[in-house]
Amino acid sequence: MKILKKLTGIVLAMCMVLTVSGLTVMAAKPDDTAVVSVTGLDENATVTLYKIADATYNDAGDTFTGYDYLEGASFANEAEPTSQEINRIAAAIQSGALTPESISTTITGGTASATVGIGRYIAIVTSTDASYVYNPILLTAGYKLENDDEVIYGGSVAVSDTYKFGEKAVAKSSTVDVEKGSEGWTPDPTADDESKEKQTAGVGDVIHYTVTPDLPVYPEEATNKTYIVTDTMSEGLTFVYESLTVVLGDETLTLSADNTFVNSAGDVIGTATQGENGYMIVFDYEKLGGQAPVIKYDGIVNDKAVIGTAEGNVNDVTLYFSNNPTQGETWEPTEIPDENTELPNGVTHKEDQDIIYTYRISFIKTDDAEGENAKRLEGAVFGIYADEACTQLIDTVVTNEDGFAESAQVAAGTYYLKEISAPAGYTINEQVYTIEASLTSSTKTTTATTTVFEYTDNEEEKLAGTEQVGWLVGHKSVAADGTVTTVYAYVAMDQYTAGGDYNGLTVVPAYIKSATTTTESNAITTVEDENGAGVTLLEDAVKNTELGELPSTGGSGVYLFIIIGVAIMSTIAFVFIRGRRTQA
């Protein structure tokens, strides 16, 4: 019995110990720490934590009582911090109005983490990769009940999350890029390698460009909502400012007289500035209503187009935006920025380009002698046609003193060469020559330069043997000194319909006033495709036959002609004199 009582006592004692152990609560301490983290970062991201609130404890230092915020860094409802409040605090930190303790983080595998004291932190994320825009994040290191115990926890937030309170639809990160596309060009079918795909066009072709920029996500309280698009064309492309439009949702907005784009609600969503050969549009981010604008406009291939596949005729687009929305202020430049422009704090840029390639076709003109005895002929005028019937004239060229000529720039395709006017003393060659312009056939370079033919809208001034070849479009142009003038750009015949409308601009028929001439030399070198060749040389020379001549000096034929001529003249003189005497 006594043994039973002792065992019962031992069991009860053990139960009491276990019960007391189960009720033990971990005591909070001012030196407690926790790990906080931000996940989903790009590999070039940097995360800095700013402590905006310290933990507070009771006098004994063993009970957590709440948070003590820096002045100007508190929340109206501590349990429901809004996106607006978080961004306002972050902006104050980056402007220097708030100067909290900063803590660096370690980033591994797209996650930034740090061991911190109990408190609340604003995480500001930046990246050297301009594709990423990060909004500020609130992290908390604190205590919570878990299975009736108070435990330390560290907050973890994914950058892909949206804010829980305030602007709930606003993501904590977004990716930004800009793309440029074009239509109206001719693909080169010989460039079957995707890496060498060629968009080709000839002089007078109208290229329709589309710029598609992504819209970054900026919170309402962001101080820097920069959103600007600029576009610059190389010399071989003519920018038509009047063609500039902005598509926003279902609306297509055209330029107003004051260079603004106004939506159906009457809001100015952007303001345009015309450059020397391009534009800038400064958008009002708030007025875009969360929709990314699409920009459309035209460029015309002109006679200064670069020949060949090495460089091409480049059109560069740049999107300027803020990838740190709480740093600095919205940038609204009055002059179009370029590569030398120093960007304000918080502003970065993304770029894209579109390239149009042009080729050139050439030939040599000789007499009908063979081999080295062939004489090169100057002054022959040829038409370059788009059709075998030679009704669609696209260029007129004249041979130089070396018998050499190159056409104006052309796109990939088949062209037809026909003589319009022969050199003095030679007959016209009626044959139509076929020549192919393509990546594989354009394997020549030349030191020759051309003076491109002159156009006129006066049919009486047109070159003999030619008809209308296209159109002249009058558009506004801005010189380097800011002078605005109206200039006329040549547009190919098939790019415009008579009686139609081209962005409200003046359009008149174009005739060739003078042919293209080739100067300098006719040195030709064969090169590899990838080295940027652009000239296709007609394999055989175009020959002319010399007109018939009088017999050589001393031949019997010449004396016979002289005798007959003298006899006829003497007879006429005799009849005339006799008639005068009879009248007398």
The answer as to whether 565 is a domain residue is no
Instruction: Assign residue 305 the CATH number of its domain.
Output: 2.60.40.740
Q: What is the pLDDT of residue 527?
A: 40
Whether residue 38 contacts residue 157, with contact meaning beta carbons closer than 8 Å, is answered with: yes
The answer as to whether 534 is a domain residue is yes
Q: Six-digit token pair at 12?
A: 């009860």
Q: Six-digit token pair at 191?
A: 């460039």
Q: Six-digit token pair at 393?
A: 């004239």
Clarify whether residues 182 and 170 are in a common domain: no
Q: Which residues of the chain have pLDDT under 50?
A: 1, 4, 7-8, 10-25, 195, 443-448, 520-533, 549-559
Of 174, 194, 229, the one marking the end of a domain is 174
Clarify whether residues 402 and 493 are in a common domain: yes
Residue 408 neighbours by CB distance under 10 Å: 24
Helix (H) or strand (E) holding 175: strand 173-175
Helix, strand, coil percentages, rounded to 5, for the chain: 15, 45, 45
DSSP secondary structure of 13-67: HHHHHHHHHHT--PPP-TT-EEEEEEES--TTEEEEEEEEEEEEE-TTS-SEEEE
Q: What is the pLDDT of residue 573?
A: 61
3-class SS of residue 253: strand
Q: What is the pLDDT of residue 448?
A: 46
Instruction: Assign residue 405 the CATH number of its domain.
Output: 2.60.40.10
Which DSSP category does 295 fall into?
E
The answer as to whether 9 is a domain residue is no
Q: What is the pLDDT of residue 534?
A: 52
User: Would the CA dihedral through 572, 573, 575, 576 be positive or negative?
Assistant: positive
Clarify whether residues 201 and 310 are in a common domain: yes
pLDDT digits 0-9 by tens, 106-149? 999 999 999 999 999 999 999 999 899 999 999 999 998 777 67
Q: What is the pLDDT of residue 214?
A: 96
What totals of helices (H) and strands (E) does the chain contain, helices first?
Answer: 3, 41
Alpha-carbon gap, residue 359 to 445, rounded angstroms: 11
**How many Å is the Cα radius of gyration of the chain?**
40
- Spacing of C-alpha 347 from chain mean position: 19
Cross-strand bridge partners of residue 516: 397
Sheet containing 516-519, strands listed edge to edge, beginning at the edge strand earlier in sequence: 433-437, 413-421, 381-385, 393-398, 516-519, 449-451
Clarify whether residues 286 and 139 are in a common domain: no
Angle at 208 between CA 205 and CA 213, to 5 degrees: 150
Whether residue 339 contacts residue 352, with contact meaning beta carbons closer than 8 Å, is answered with: no
Clarify whether residues 190 and 107 are in a common domain: no
Clarify whether residues 447 and 370 are in a common domain: yes
Q: What is the pLDDT of residue 240?
A: 93
Burial profile 292-306: b = 16 or more Cβ within 10 angstroms, e = fewer: bbebebbbbbbbebb
The answer as to whether 218 is a domain residue is yes
The answer as to whether 557 is a domain residue is no
Of 300, 322, 356, the one marking the end of a domain is 356
3-state secondary structure 448-494: CEEECCEEECCHHHCCCCCCCCEEEEEEEEECCCCCEEEEEEEEEHH
pLDDT digits 0-9 by tens, 480-495? 777 777 778 888 887 7
Clarify whether residues 129 and 213 are in a common domain: no
The answer as to whether 550 is a domain residue is no
The torsion angles phi and psi of 378, rounded to 5 degrees, stand at -100, 150
**Domains of the chain: total:** 3
- Amino acid code (one letter) for 241: Y
Put simply, whether the predicted model's pTM sits higher than 0.85 gets the answer no
Alpha-carbon gap, residue 358 to 411, rounded angstroms: 5
Clarify whether residues 167 and 203 are in a common domain: no
Whether residue 40 contacts residue 135, with contact meaning beta carbons closer than 8 Å, is answered with: no
Alpha-carbon gap, residue 516 to 498, rounded angstroms: 26
Range of the domain at 507: 360-544
Clarify whether residues 230 and 273 are in a common domain: yes
Q: What is the pLDDT of residue 356?
A: 92
The answer as to whether 527 is a domain residue is yes
Burial profile 94-106: b = 16 or more Cβ within 10 angstroms, e = fewer: beeebebeebebe
Of 152, 174, 196, the one marking the end of a domain is 174
Q: What is the pLDDT of residue 528?
A: 42
Q: What is the pLDDT of residue 372?
A: 78
Alpha-carbon gap, residue 160 to 158, rounded angstroms: 5
Helix (H) or strand (E) holding 267: none
Clarify whether residues 352 and 364 are in a common domain: no
Q: How do 33-39 and 156-158 pair as beta strands? A: parallel
Q: What is the pLDDT of residue 37?
A: 95
Closest by alpha carbon to 246, among 298, 201, 211?
Answer: 211
The answer as to whether 296 is a domain residue is yes
Clarify whether residues 309 and 234 are in a common domain: yes
Clarify whether residues 311 and 182 are in a common domain: yes
- Spacing of C-alpha 364 from chain mean position: 38
